[in-house]
Amino acid sequence: MKKIILLLTLLFVITTLTFAQNRGIARGAEPGEFYLTNYWYGIFGPDAPPEYTELRKALFRITENGKKISIQYDADHFAEFYTDPGSVMQPRIILADATSGVVYNKDTYHKNGYPYNSLWTSFDYGKNWIFREENSWPIGYYVANFEGLIYRGGNYKIFKSEDYGYNFLESDYGPGGSEPGLQNGEGFSLWYSSNRLLRYSSDFGKTYLEIPIDEEYVFGQVGGMEPDVYRGGLSGEVYVSSMFPPDGAYKISFSADTGHTFRHVYVCEKQCFNPFGILFGAWIPAFMSDREPGVFYVLQISEVEDTNPLGLHTKVCIDYYRDYGETLVATYCHDLTKDYNNNVGIKEKGEGKGDEVLVYPNPTTGELQVTSYELQVTSIEVFDIYGRKVIEPSLTVLQSYDLTVLQAGIYFVKITTEKGMVTKKIIKH
């Protein structure tokens, strides 16, 4: 019986992972921080796998751009089948607003033969939880980019809480979309039927700008994976993720102009997703954009077999990108074994690009940061598209430069290091 229950639950987690703000992953309130809910480890019974006698679910806090994973909270998976939902928080769908340390969890379960949702709030980075409310299905929660602001939608009504979910009052307006933007009332949503649309609102969903998206960037549901939408780090920036048949390609696309033009920033060409991946070891892609412009993460989540005790544990590898996908800074991998003790991740050999020079933010409105973790930068020059040198910043300790004197357009930054020259293209807004 446990085997059947486990399979259904895992499939539920997979299929709900990619609906906007209905995911098992959420950006935190601080740059370089995000949260993940997932199975931690399982121990098989004496008969044969995959019947578990112990199965743990956990909330992980990921910091330092993926370098560190901390287990904030874990729960007995089977407890949800015999314990009142108001007494045991089950990590499931994670949300976070703009308040440092505040995390929300939406649990889903069946009660008396009917589906229900419950909302929980944590004020200490997910270590301790307060039960807020329980509602019959379907109910969705959407956090805005403000402290304590969370919306509840469902049954054709919208409610708003400005006190971290303690009180909800009926509202005449919503968050503006299934993925709220940077400003209050701004939101993005994906719509696809006969055509594919990005819907953008800046007035709490009262009016929408509908922008068609080419099928090169958004396909539709593939193997239970829905297209998803994520806000960027600057106004008007938006990412979309989508699976593509027939080979299971997975692509992340980015727009800096509210969806009018897109480009690919991450592409996995073949066999990127297996709907039974958690059970059989194929990795499942998960994406999250950071609060810092141009920074995002691609997670590869798989299960690793253990022998003593016999069972499985989760392995999470995090690709850390800067410069809107142009720079893979590092890949950090974490083996979340039963005795995992919040260790720092191991950078995979051959995967990281820590010796590269980073130039950010890109696009920029004037500020430019030049950083290298392993190389010494000796000179920097900025050229326009005609090859004319327009600025030669003097090196500083922080290597932060002001380019506000330049007109909007495309420029090239030539950086000379102890190992040679690197050229980076930047866009000045």
Question: What is the model's pLDDT at position 81?
Answer: 61
Q: Are residues 222 and 266 in the same domain?
A: yes
Q: Are residues 280 and 408 in the same domain?
A: no
Q: What CATH number should be reported for the domain holding residue 421?
A: 2.60.40.760
Residue 3: pLDDT above 50?
no
Peptide bond into 91 cis (omega under 30): no
Q: Phi first, then psi: give them for residue 259, nearest 5 degrees.
A: 95, 5
Q: How far apart are CA 37 and CA 302, in angstroms?
A: 13
Q: How far apart are CA 165 and CA 8, in angstroms?
A: 29
Residue 72: pLDDT above 80?
yes
Selection from 170, 167, 207 nearest residue 185 by Cα:
207
| Domain assignment present for 409 | yes
Interval 131-155: pLDDT, tens: 999 988 788 899 989 999 999 988 7
Residue 348: pLDDT above 50?
no
Tokens 């990108």 correspond to 321
Question: What is the model's pLDDT at position 14?
Answer: 31
Selection from 373, 356, 410 nearest residue 388 by Cα:
410
Q: How far apart are CA 382 and CA 221, in angstroms?
A: 44
Q: Are residues 222 and 186 in the same domain?
A: yes
**Residues forming a β-bridge with 367:** 402
Q: Are residues 292 and 381 in the same domain?
A: no
Who's near 235: CB < 8 A, 6+ residues apart? 181, 182, 183, 186
Q: What CATH number should be reported for the domain holding residue 211?
A: 2.120.10
Q: How far apart are CA 368 and CA 417, in angstroms?
A: 17
Question: What is the model's pLDDT at position 109?
Answer: 80
Q: Are residues 323 and 368 in the same domain?
A: no
Question: What is the model's pLDDT at position 49?
Answer: 63
Selection from 97, 9, 91 nearest residue 278 by Cα:
9
Q: Are residues 323 and 365 in the same domain?
A: no
| Domain assignment present for 370 | yes
| Domain assignment present for 342 | yes
| Domain assignment present for 197 | yes
Which of 314, 347, 380 is the last residue in one of the domains? 347
Q: Are residues 119 and 257 in the same domain?
A: yes
CB 35 within 8 A of CB 24: no
Q: How far apart are CA 208 and CA 204, in angstroms?
A: 9
Q: How far apart are CA 371 and CA 146, in angstroms?
A: 30
pTM (global) more than 0.85: no
Q: How far apart are CA 150 and CA 143, in angstroms?
A: 4
Percent residues over pLDDT 70 in the chain: 81
State the DSSP string of 242-289. Answer: EEETTTTEEEEEEESSTTSS-EEEEEE-S----TTHHHH---EEEEEE
CB 340 within 8 A of CB 39: no
Residue 252: pLDDT above 90?
yes
Interval 151-184: pLDDT, tens: 998 878 899 999 999 999 999 888 888 899 998 8
Residue 8: pLDDT above 90?
no
Q: Are residues 403 and 331 in the same domain?
A: no
Interval 259-292: pLDDT, tens: 999 999 999 887 676 544 443 344 567 899 999 9
| Domain assignment present for 188 | yes
Confidence class for position 201, pLDDT limits 50, 70, 90 = very high
Question: What is the model's pLDDT at position 346?
Answer: 44
Which of 299, 327, 347 is the last residue in one of the domains? 347
Q: Phi first, then psi: give them for residue 3, nearest 5 degrees.
A: -60, -45
Chain mean position to CA 174: 22
| Domain assignment present for 352 | no
CB 429 within 8 A of CB 363: yes
Question: What is the model's pLDDT at position 10?
Answer: 33
Interval 212-247: pLDDT, tens: 998 889 887 655 567 899 999 998 899 999 888 877
Residue 202 parent element (H or E): none
Tokens 């000179």 correspond to 379
Residue 352: pLDDT above 70?
no
Question: What is the model's pLDDT at position 425?
Answer: 77
Question: What is the model's pLDDT at position 7?
Answer: 33
Question: What is the model's pLDDT at position 271?
Answer: 65
Higher pLDDT, 150 or 353: 150
Task: Average the pLDDT over 15-25 and give the result.
Answer: 61
| Residue numbers of the domain that contains 48 | 2-347
Q: Are residues 211 and 260 in the same domain?
A: yes
Question: What is the model's pLDDT at position 152?
Answer: 93
Higher pLDDT, 84 or 235: 235
Count how many domains the chain has: 2
| Domain assignment present for 59 | yes
The token duo for 145 is 């980019």
Q: Are residues 372 and 239 in the same domain?
A: no
Question: What is the model's pLDDT at position 121?
Answer: 94
Which of 301, 325, 347 is the last residue in one of the domains? 347
Q: How far apart are CA 27 and CA 294, in angstroms?
A: 14
| Domain assignment present for 117 | yes
Q: Are residues 340 and 364 in the same domain?
A: no
Average pLDDT, the chain: 81
The token duo for 162 is 């400005």
Q: Is 335 helix (H, G, I), strand (E, B) or coil?
A: strand
Q: Are residues 285 and 400 in the same domain?
A: no
Higher pLDDT, 268 or 423: 268
